Chain A
Amino acid sequence: MFGLKADWSLDVQDRYFTIEDYEGAKPRWCTGCGDHGVLTAVHKVCREAQLPPEKIVAVSGIGCSSRLPHYMGTYGFHGLHGRALPFASGVKARRPDLDVWVATGDGDCFSIGGCHWVHALRYNIDMTVLVFDNAVYGLTKKQSSPTSPVGLKTNTHPTGAFLPPLNPLTVTLGVSNVSFVAQVVDWNPLLVYETIKKAHAHRGTSFVRIIQRCPVFVEEVHKDLQNDPSQILLLKHENGIPTNEAVERIYPNQREHDPSDWNAAMEIARNELQVPCGLLYHNPDAPVYDDWSSVGMGMSDEEKIAGINKALDSFSI
């Protein structure tokens, strides 16, 4: 009896990971930056899933948020501006066993990496993409980004940005084979955690736009939204992001939204009067590119030769 119990507990306790196992260097983001809370949520989701740190790869491009891999006690890749998604695709292509996380931002993903953004969504490679959207280029100290609101005074537009900002949700939803689109604000830790947890659990490219504060350069951008929770539309559904009473008390405007309903998702995304928070769209059955890119991985040399011979035989007359 005791022996059995000891064996059982050894199996379970063999490797138990704590938050410390997922922590890397001490974060150097500014005080009050929204990125800190997201990082904490990522660590917690990793612990919750008990992912072996050596099976995790955190990949990024360039920007404030792209420092995230430094703060993970896992494998990581601090890439080049705009290239986070191709790096991630390369990592995942022949190592489908790895758990790939992508940290990118409104500059990195929507501007210089825009082309990769569209195609990564279509490839639907199994990875969790966190877009830290602070509506400004923060690392280079306050220039307009594609999501800078009209009138935002930046160093490239001192009298105010004049083009309407890009809507990342409608663009993302518009890509064929998109499989997971969620949005959250960085200042609600419970929602951030639940959103990232759901995103991570999805097999395919999980796109999470995180509306993120940058109190150093553009505090004014999200101040209204922080002070007035009624501007947020909380999306609720049994298949959506779990909420609780505390969250529901904060956000009076709520809507029951089935995440499998693409048309409703698009309608919510297009309504710029309210900021949706929750799971806009989820299609767990969308084809995943990993299934093609990992073909033949377990084949022996003999099997490969047999395959080649079979192909050559098809040309025989």
Chain B
Amino acid sequence: MMRKLLTGNGAAAWSARLARADYIPAFPITPQTEIVETLGNWIDNEQLPARMVTLESEHSMITAAGAAAATGVRVFSATSSQGLLYAMEMLYTVAGWRAPFVLVNVSRGLAAPITLEPDHNDIMAARDSGFLQIHCADCQEVLDSVLMAYRLGEDERVRLPVMVNQDGFYLSFTREPVDIPDPGAAARFLPDYDPENIRFRASAPVSQAVAVLGGAPYSYFRYESHLAARQALEVYDEVAADFEAEFGRKREALEAYRTEDAEYLFVQLGSFATKAREAVDRLREAGWAVGLLRPRLFRPLPEEKIRQALAGRKGVAVIDQNLSPGRGGVLHAELASVLFGHADMPSILVSFIGGLGGRDISTEEFFEMARVTRRAVEDGKAPPPRLLYTETELREVRKLQAIANAERADLEKKP
């Protein structure tokens, strides 16, 4: 094992190397590019016996990734934001092929307006594609999760592609100390890909083409993908146990932080949960019984674990770094449906939308969310979803609007 200062992108590249990915279709996009550049450098310097092909778009990249995986090759790729959405058609298709590979998504907000900074709208857009999803909170987790994702996706009970998500900038460009496992240990945990029934044999050619199907068989195969994704819950726990045995790090499907006696919980995905942890510590010092739940596994959603973790709590603050216009936070809606109809579930689930387009969520805002949630419990009524936005920010935007209005008025005065 070696310990190095790595960015999230560096950790992702190392994970592909340790996983002995054989084929890496690539296309640059900020903030992901460093991953494929690092891999390209290793390949060209003969440190990684893989082939990387720079394709002409993410659409072709995911197509090639799925097709290569269907020939029994271990495939790695990475993208972000618009790239992920450009590949959307193929995300659904390759998941339907049941071709396992790992795609690292470096979360970045979506146009328009154009932004380079992170939020989770890109990965949420891929929620129903059939890809499994693991969300990471730090750079070590990125490396660990990719190795686990191969085990998970390649398991014969699952056979689905997996996305590993890390936040752009906050993780992709932030250096943290990362343990890089020995190649031997990585190979023990993650043996070579055994493609089982998709081996190519010249003597027995088999077409992997997917038929055009109508209602009944179509429904059967789509539902089969759902069942495979559900089976991934059990497989994940096995993989996590093996991972802990090999590397000593616990990577649970649902991470709980100081939840033992907590009356109120924050629920959040991704790297901002590390800020939530800090806020939990400070609130605990102030005498509040507060904790944090962070689903690492988002597809499949570990519903039973979530219910167990939330049973008996007074109130929950759900923080979404995404926005479904006309509805609100995706995680909030998902949690509500997980809890509904079960005994002993918290009745107050307050929705907060924050961290869009790289906007920070300050410690003070976590305090405010805890306060709002506690008051909602006292009132017995959850307030409407709330966008985290400060007065200063609003003033800044108003100033810009005033300049724009002045310029417009000036233009209109011209003949």
Contacts and interface: CB of A to CB of B under 8 A. Distances in A.
Nearest to A156: B40
Contacts of A141: 33
Interface string A139-157: 1110110100000000111
**Chain A: interface secondary structure?**
loop
Nearest to A139: B30
B54 A78 contact: no
A158 B40 contact: yes
Contacts, number: 51
Contacts of B30: 139-140
Given A80-B82, A159-B44, A143 B57 contact: no
B28 interface: yes
B47 to A, nearest CB: 11
A137 interface: yes
A158 B28 contact: no
A156 B111 CA distance: 26
A240 interface: no
Nearest to A155: B37
Contacts of A157: 40, 44, 54
Interface in A83-118: 111-112, 114
Contact of B415 (A14, A78, A139): A14
Interface string B74-88: 000000001000100
Given A15-B415, A140-B28, A143-B33, A82 B41 contact: no
Given A156-B37, A158-B44, A158-B45, A143 B28 contact: yes
A81 interface: yes
B29 interface: yes
A82 B85 CA distance: 13
A8 B29 CA distance: 56
Contacts of B36: 156
Tell me which of B54, B58, B86 has the highest count of chain A C-beta atoms within 10 A of its own C-beta. B54
Interface residues of A, number: 22
A61 to B, nearest CB: 11
Interface in A4-27: 14-15
Contacts of A156: 26, 28, 36-37, 40, 52, 54
B37 A112 contact: no
B56 interface: yes
Interface in B1-41: 26-30, 33, 36-37, 40-41
Contacts of B27: 112
A112 B114 contact: no
B56 A111 contact: yes
Nearest to B85: A80
A140 B35 CA distance: 12
Contacts of B41: 155, 158
Contacts of A78: 114
Contacts of A80: 82, 111
30 contacts: A14-B415, A15-B415, A81-B29, A82-B57, A111-B56, A112-B56, A112-B57, A112-B58, A112-B86, A137-B28, A139-B30, A140-B29, A141-B33, A143-B28, A143-B33, A143-B37, A143-B54, A146-B56, A155-B37, A155-B41, A156-B26, A156-B28, A156-B54, A157-B44, A157-B54, A158-B41, A158-B44, A158-B45, A159-B44, A159-B45
